[in-house]
Amino acid sequence: MPVDLFFAVPLLVHDADPAVRDATRAKVLAYLDSERAKRDIALSPEESVATSYYQPEASIVLDAQLNELEALVIAAGRAFLEQTLRLPPRPLEIERAWINLFRPGAQEAQHTHDGSLLSCSYYVEAPENCGCIVFPDPIGARRSYREFTRTVGRDLLTRREIAVEPRPGRLVMFESWLPHAVQCNKSDRLRISIAMNLRQTESTAPR
């Protein structure tokens, strides 16, 4: 008998072309040597990650001139909305963009990016065992049901959570309400990621 799936949670995982990956990495590494980076990046007061998030006027995309990455993210956002969610086309822009540096032992607690349309994480440096981005099942009643009935499994329909392994050049995009966390960096090297929030271009956003 046919079974329909309801309340699906979309997740985009895309590996950038080598040219985009390499150009972005070179620009980010040059940025990290700049005085601006030294000024804007600081240890989070709540987490073990060093980040430029707490400098709202800073934008890693603009400051490091990440034109190739910006184009990739906007194109991915449009595909996410139009092809996956089947919504009418709308112009998008990057609302905020910040860099995250996860040194060995660093991790990030579960959180959301409420208030934005789409959010994403792009990986510049991702050594082996540097920690996955983890999305727990957002339906709390289903999580409780799985534990109570012992129906947790390995299939996408029965997992407690989905963990996406970071790779250099990998983009992970999702709706901004979706809770997520970052596992501990168990490698001996730095993990570098760029987080971005997207919104509909302000001049065309509904009021």
Supply the pLDDT for residue 17. Answer: 97
> Cα separation of 182 and 86, whole Å?
29
Supply the pLDDT for residue 126. Answer: 98
Query: Which amino acid is present at 141?
Result: A
* Tens place of pLDDT per residue across the chain (207 aa): 988 888 889 999 999 999 999 999 999 999 999 999 999 999 999 899 999 999 999 999 999 999 999 999 999 999 999 999 999 999 999 999 999 999 999 999 999 999 999 999 999 999 999 999 999 999 999 999 999 999 999 988 899 999 999 999 999 999 999 999 999 999 999 999 999 999 999 766 555
Whole-angstrom CA distances from 52 to 32, 40, 78, 151 are 11, 5, 26, 41
Residues 6 or more apart whose CB falls under 8 angstroms from that of 30 comprise: 64
Whole-angstrom CA distances from 57 to 40, 61, 62, 95 are 9, 12, 11, 11
Supply the pLDDT for residue 188. Answer: 97
Number of H helices, E strands in the chain: 5, 11
Supply the pLDDT for residue 206. Answer: 58
Supply the pLDDT for residue 136. Answer: 95
Query: What pTM does this model have?
Result: 0.93
Domains and CATH numbers, the chain: 11-199 (2.60.120.620)
